[in-house]
Structures are given as C-alpha cells and as structure tokens.
Amino acid sequence: MYVKICGLSTPGTIEAGLQAGANWIGFVFFPKSPRHVGYGKAKELVGPVRGKASIVALTVNASDDELEAIDRSINPDIWQLHGSESPERVREIKQRYGRPVMKALTIRDREDLAAISRYEEACDIFLFDAKPPTDSKTDLPGGNGIAFDWRLIENLKLKKPFVLAGGLDPDNVSEAIRLTRPQGVDVSSGIESAPGIKDRQKIVDFVQRAKQAAQDF
C-alpha cells in the first residue's frame, strides 16, 4: 500500500509524513490552490524527502515552461497531472522526462469511468478523485474534501495501478481501502486543521491506519 501525503508546505509536516512512513510526498504547483508552493520554496523543502520517499509534483495543465521550472526546483520522481491533459500530453511528458506519470481522473458517476480506456496506455498510474459538486463555485480540480461513491470502482479491472483520493481522512481510509482495494491512497484536505494547514497528528494517524488496513486484506 502506497500512501501519498499531498500539499505539504512546511518542514515539520514533511518530517511527520516521513516519520510516519509515507511513500510519496506531494508538492502542489497550482497558484489557485491554498496548498500551492512556489519553485523557490519547494526547492528548500524537498531536501529531506529525497531518498526517503518519492517526490511527486502535482500540476494542472502546466505549460512546458512551468514543467521545466518545476523540474529544476525539485527534480520530481513522479509527475501528477491533475488537469484536463490529453493522453497525447501525458505521453509527451513521460517521454520528455523519462519518469512515471500519474494521471488524475475525476469521478461523479459511472459515465466518468469511460475516460479510463483513453489513458490506460498513456499513464503509469491512475489517481481517482471526486469531481466538485455540480453547484460548487470552486475551480479546484482536487483537494475539495469530498468523496465519490467508492462502489463505482469496486472490483474494477485495470491494466495499471490506481490511487484512491477524494475526501479521505483517518476515519474513513480503512473502509475505503477495504472496499476498493487500491494500490495507493492520497490525502490532502483530510489531514488539515484549515485549508492548506496540515495537522501532524492527523498525518500520522492516516498513514498508520492506511498501512494497517492494507495488512488486513
């Protein structure tokens, strides 16, 4: 079970994630997000992560120049594409940098699963997140603290591994893992005391409960 802690922006919360045993540490490069970090700050934060967990760069429809700036600042191990990037764009980024690409797909109903077949040959990992509510004014593609109906992906047969995201927290991650049997889980808002402010104890609780749930398969 791979556990990803996303949207970290302080040395203390990064330390908490690493000590708890998180496999992936995610940095958000999207100015509209309360979890956004600039290139300079990310470069300062990333040092303790390297060699202890995989470094994930979350981007949303990033331009080539933006990708280059991110690459120079943190040299990520994995690219997480959380926008409307086409399969062709996914392949292009994977080929250019020679690193795994995690493609996020947002889900509300069964029709949204149709996009999986378009990306299955292009990406290395899927991340399934919840779509914002139809009446929501947010334009954030993720980190909204809501879950989709996990039964939609129960017993889903895929060629690639998938990570479950969207509304996960220490209290529900065990049930989410039991129901969907993902290869990984991703949390951001579910371990916060306020938007963009991570809670160290919640980080520890989430990682521990996710790892325990995986052992109980």
CATH number at residue 87: 3.20.20.70
Kindly name the residue from 65, 135, 139, 216 that is annotated as catalytic: 135
pLDDT of residue 139: 57
pLDDT one-digit tens code per residue, 111-132:
999 999 999 999 999 999 999 8
Domain span holding position 176: 2-215
Residue 39 class from Cβ within 10 Å (0-12 exposed, 13-18 middle, 19+ buried)? middle
- Catalytic: 135? yes
Nearest to residue 133, comparing CAs of 165, 162, 109, 105?
A: 109
pLDDT of residue 216: 80
Answer yes or no: pTM beyond 0.75.
yes
pLDDT one-digit tens code per residue, 30-44:
999 999 999 999 999
Residue spans of the chain under pLDDT 50: 136
Tokens of 179: 């129901």
pLDDT of residue 132: 82
Kindly name the residue from 6, 123, 129, 186 that is annotated as catalytic: 6
- Catalytic: 123? no
Domain total in the chain = 1
